[in-house]
Amino acid sequence: MFEELGQIILILIAIGGILLLLYRLFLAATGLLLIGGGLFLAFMEVYGLYLLFTETDLFVRDFQTNGWLSFPTFFVGINVLLAGLLVKKISKRFTKRLA
């Protein structure tokens, strides 16, 4: 009776330890995934801007082929949107410091 109860408690403790370990691994994997995704987006932005200024004919040809639904349209649009949000945030901070 007591032996079976002890085994059940040990099994529950072992399952809890395994679940805790899996949760910690999930947290680590999620963090690494977020870091990797951020670095990937940063690389895409930098490389896209590099190509925009060095290989302009590729962007123009893609725009001529696919029209407004082309990659350059979305790339430039998203970058303009991000630049606008950045300017808005910086201007809010600047006006707060002046006030």
pLDDT in tens, 8-49: 999 999 999 999 999 999 999 999 999 998 898 888 888 888
pLDDT at res. 19: 96
13 with 33, same domain? yes
pLDDT confidence tier of residue 51, bands split at 50, 70 and 90: confident
26 with 73, same domain? no
Structural domains counted in the chain:
2
Closest of 60, 40, 39 to residue 51, by C-alpha? 60
Q: What average pLDDT does this structure show over 59-73? A: 85
Question: What burial letters (b/e) apply to 4-33, b meaning 16+ CB within 10 Å?
Answer: eeeeeeeeeeeeeeeeeeeeeeeeeeeeee
- For residue 1, the SS3 value is coil
76 with 37, same domain? no
**Residue 88 lies in domain:** 56-99
Over 70: is that where the pLDDT of 99 sits? Answer: no
15 with 61, same domain? no
60 with 35, same domain? no
47 with 67, same domain? no
pLDDT confidence tier of residue 72, bands split at 50, 70 and 90: confident
93 with 68, same domain? yes
Contact assessment for residue 73 and residue 63, using Cβ atoms and an 8 Å cutoff: yes
